Amino acid sequence: MSNNFTAVEVDIIKEMINIGGGNVATSISKMIGKKVHMNLPIITQLTYNQIFETMMPAEEVVKAVQLEVDGAIKGQFLLLVDEKNIIQFSPEDRQLIQNEELVNSALCELANILVNQFIQAIVSLFDVPLMTSVPYLAEDMFGSLLSSAYLEEFQFDDQVWIFKNEYWVENEKWDSSLYFVPQDGILESFLEYMREKGEI
């Protein structure tokens, strides 16, 4: 992805991530009946080494739900959630965490709801056609999952863009992160689409 975005173009990308992530925070709040707020989204370009040094060790094993997005924006969402957080969505069933099949199903459903809320916010804001795939659960080292996502979206540079939202439930960090991996060149195409519509 190009480094040569104008200030206006960067603001549009930030607004897209911010509005989408804010919609997710609202959805989480409604589902669990607690106040949820989102930190300012992380939108930055890092090397893989910097990602693993500052965000999560490459060798840490995680569960991630992957969803593809297609349309005016193409790419992949990765939702990383500590499975213990699933209890927050079903506090009356503390046995849930002991049933791996139920946890995996709940993680996929959670990702499906949150990513589609994210997408709906972008569709409403920018009036662009978007659709998502069926969620897929993967368990692997964080480094392998993130690297694979970038390779699948044809991004082969050592410098990669990170679009990440982090959430807090009341005063406790909700151990989840939503990453967006855009297909190479798609943000440039999206901005061109916006120019043609006269939005920028």
What is the per-residue pLDDT across 128-175, written as a single tens digit (0 to 9) for each? 888 889 888 888 999 999 888 888 888 767 767 777 877 888 777 776
CA dihedral for 129, 135, 136, 140, sign (positive or negative): positive
Specify whether the CB–CB gap between 64 and 145 falls below 8 A: yes
Rounded to an integer, the average pLDDT of 77-87 is: 70
pLDDT score recorded for residue 188: 83
For residues 101 and 84, the answer to whether their CB atoms sit within 8 Å is no
The predicted structure's pLDDT at residue 83: 59
User: What pLDDT score does 3 carry?
Assistant: 58
**Domain locations in the chain?**
7-196
Quickly count: other Cβ atoms within 10 Å of residue 87's Cβ: 16
**Model pLDDT for residues 95-135, shown as the tens digit of each residue:** 555 667 777 777 788 788 878 888 888 888 778 888 889 88
Contact 58, 200 (CB under 8 A): no
Is the pLDDT at 89 greater than 60? The verdict is no
Coil/strand/helix, residue 4 = coil
Q: Over the chain, what is the mean pLDDT?
A: 79
Residues 6+ apart with CB under 8 A from 131: 69, 70, 71, 119
Q: Is 7-196 in CATH node 3.40.1550.10?
A: yes
Residue 165 one-letter amino acid: N
What's the token pair of residue 99?
């049933």
Backbone angles phi, psi at 110, to 5 degrees: -60, -50
Structure tokens belonging to residue 170:
């009341």
Q: How far apart are CA 20 and CA 8, in angstroms?
A: 18
Q: Which residues of 115-131 are buried (b: 16+ CB within 10 A; e: fewer)?
A: bbbbbebbbeebebebe
DSSP state of 5: -
Rounded Cα gap, residues 8 and 17, in angstroms = 14
pLDDT at 58: 92
Quick one: how far is CA 198 from the chain centroid?
28
